Amino acid sequence: MSDTIVKIQVTDGTVTDFKDKNLLNAWRLSFLGAILCMAYLVFFHPDPYMRVLKFIPDGLWVTFKVTFMSITGALILGLVTGLGRISRNRFINLVASTYVEVVRGIPLLVQLFYIYYALGRFLRVPDLLSAVIAMSVCYGAYMGEVFRAGIESIDKGQTEAARSLGFNRAQTMFLVILPQAWRTILPPVGNEFIALLKDTSLVSILAVSDVLRRGREFASETFFYFETYTLIALIYLVITLLLSRVVSLMEERLSHYER
């Protein structure tokens, strides 16, 4: 057996290493490139790029709203699911595991359609809300697995120490285990955030006017397909890069203690 453990992590998010101190790293290159590209197009070809850019902000706001609300929902669902998966109660455990199994087996787009039309038919839930629910349910299952793994990574001695001081199970989880597990959980959860942000573009298929849908509306009216989608790609790139930066700043803030 070799002593070195090679860890390969495949992520859907960005793989930029922010500890890279070089002036020219992948993140800076992509970010500056995207900004300069956008500036060039808007400045030198205001028609149609400036028109696209003026048409999109409403959609940007919707994309942010869907992303933020879905992240919140997915975190809560993920925590509940993760706790359910490690529960000693067999019924709770089975419910949580089945949820993960079912959700992981259905494409997000199908889930979106399903929840959108199912909720729309029986409950008259607003479009945006049903999109958020669908995204949360889907990503909650993935995050549940991340939470479970994070909680299980904490040494059993921590639980024993907390319990022997007199803390009950919930206090032990929320005061001792989760604050430590969060450090293990944050990097993969951050990647899920980024993947989620990108996947919000799927809600444009429903009647939710996010960035992509606004773009489609503009393009189908003006026939500037190439120009519109160029700009939209650049906009997604910029906000994704910004989010990945935020996540890495959070990771740095969490490393104030050693294990």
Partner 1 sequence: MSAEPIIRTPIIRMEGVSKFFGDLKALDNVSLEVFPGQRVVIIGPSGSGKSTLLRAINRLETVNQGTVVVDGFDIRSKHTDINAVRMELGMVFQSFNLFPHKTVLQNLTMAPTRLKKVPKAEAEERAMALLAKVDIQEKAQVYPAKLSGGQRQRVAIARALAMNPKIMLFDEPTSALDPEMIGEVLDVMVNLAREGMTMVVVTHEMGFAREVADLMVFMDEGKIIETGTPDEFFNHAKHPRLQKFLDQIL
Check binding of 89 to partner 1 (CB under 8 A): no
Which residue's CB is nearer to partner 1, number 17 or number 155?
Answer: 155
The reply on whether position 250 binds partner 1 by CB under 8 A is no
Pick the closer one to partner 1 by CB: 126 or 179: 179
Which of 44, 91, 122, 257 is the binder for partner 1 (CB under 8 A)?
257
Give the interface segment with partner 1, choosing from 54-62, 75-83, 96-104, 154-162 (CB under 8 A). Answer: 154-162
Under the binding rule (CB under 8 A), the answer on residue 39 touching partner 1 is: no
Residue by residue, what is the 3-state secondary structure of the chain? CCCCCCCCCCCCCCCCCCCCCCCCCHHHHHHHHHHHHHHHHHHHCHHHHHHHHHHCHHHHHHHHHHHHHHHHHHHHHHHHHHHHHCCCCHHHHHHHHHHHHHHHCCCHHHHHHHHHHHHHHHCCCCHHHHHHHHHHHHHHHHHHHHHHHHHHCCCHHHHHHHHHHCCCHHHHHHHHHHHHHHHHHHHHHHHHHHHHHHHHHHHHHCCCCCHHHHHHHHHHHHCCHHHHHHHHHHHHHHHHHHHHHHHHHHHHHHCCCCC
Examine residue 167 and tell whether it contacts partner 1 (CB under 8 A): yes
By CB under 8 A, residue 158 contacts partner 1 = yes
22 binds partner 1 (CB under 8 A): no
Q: Please, what is the minimum distance in Å from the beta carbon of residue 5 to partner 1?
A: 22
Does residue 41 belong to the site contacting partner 1 (CB under 8 A)?
Answer: no
Q: Which residues are at the interface with partner 1 (CB under 8 A)?
A: 155, 157-158, 160-168, 171, 175-176, 179-180, 257-259
